[in-house]
């Protein structure tokens, strides 16, 4: 039902799928996405947790698959890029509406912050360089 609300209205009305999960989200990522966006880091690592609300799978000019996802928590969302090597390791975990925690590098483009090149997979292992 919640997915139908989001699809039809563009937002959740009755409740958010992450309602009640705030404590778990903060366990893995200490700051909500809105706080990160209010005072964005210029460089370094970033940890965000939430739900994958969109996935755009692409292929680069070398024929390698990669993806742009949007991770949302209860108050905000951020784009997270999965470049080819990380995408190869994590592709099966990238499902719409799945809860995730992503640790990646801050990436700025056209004055827009994104998290790029995740630093670890679901088991805490680093993707190959």
Burial 43-75 (b: 16+ CB within 10 A, else e): eeebebbbbbeeeeeeeeeeeeebbebbbbbbe
3-state secondary structure of 25: helix
Q: What is the pLDDT along the chain (129 residues), one digit of tens a residue?
A: 445 545 554 555 556 666 666 777 778 888 899 998 888 888 888 888 888 989 999 999 999 999 999 999 888 889 999 999 889 988 998 999 888 888 888 877 777 776 665 544 444 444 444
Q: Give all domains of the chain, ordered by start, each with its CATH number.
A: 21-116 (2.40.50.140)
């Amino acid at each position: 039902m919640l997915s139908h609300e989001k699809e039809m209205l563009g937002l959740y009305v009755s409740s958010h799928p992450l309602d009640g999960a705030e404590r778990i989200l903060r366990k893995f990522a200490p700051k909500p996405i809105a706080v990160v966006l209010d005072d964005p880091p210029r460089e370094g690592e970033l940890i965000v947790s939430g739900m994958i609300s969109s996935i755009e799978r692409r292929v680069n000019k070398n024929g390698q698959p990669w993806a742009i996802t949007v991770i949302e928590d209860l108050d905000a969302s951020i784009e997270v890029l999965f470049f080819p090597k990380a995408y190869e390791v994590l592709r099966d975990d990238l499902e719409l509406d799945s809860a995730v925690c992503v640790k990646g590098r801050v990436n700025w483009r056209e004055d827009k912050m994104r998290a790029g090149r995740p630093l670890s997979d679901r088991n805490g292992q680093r993707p190959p360089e």
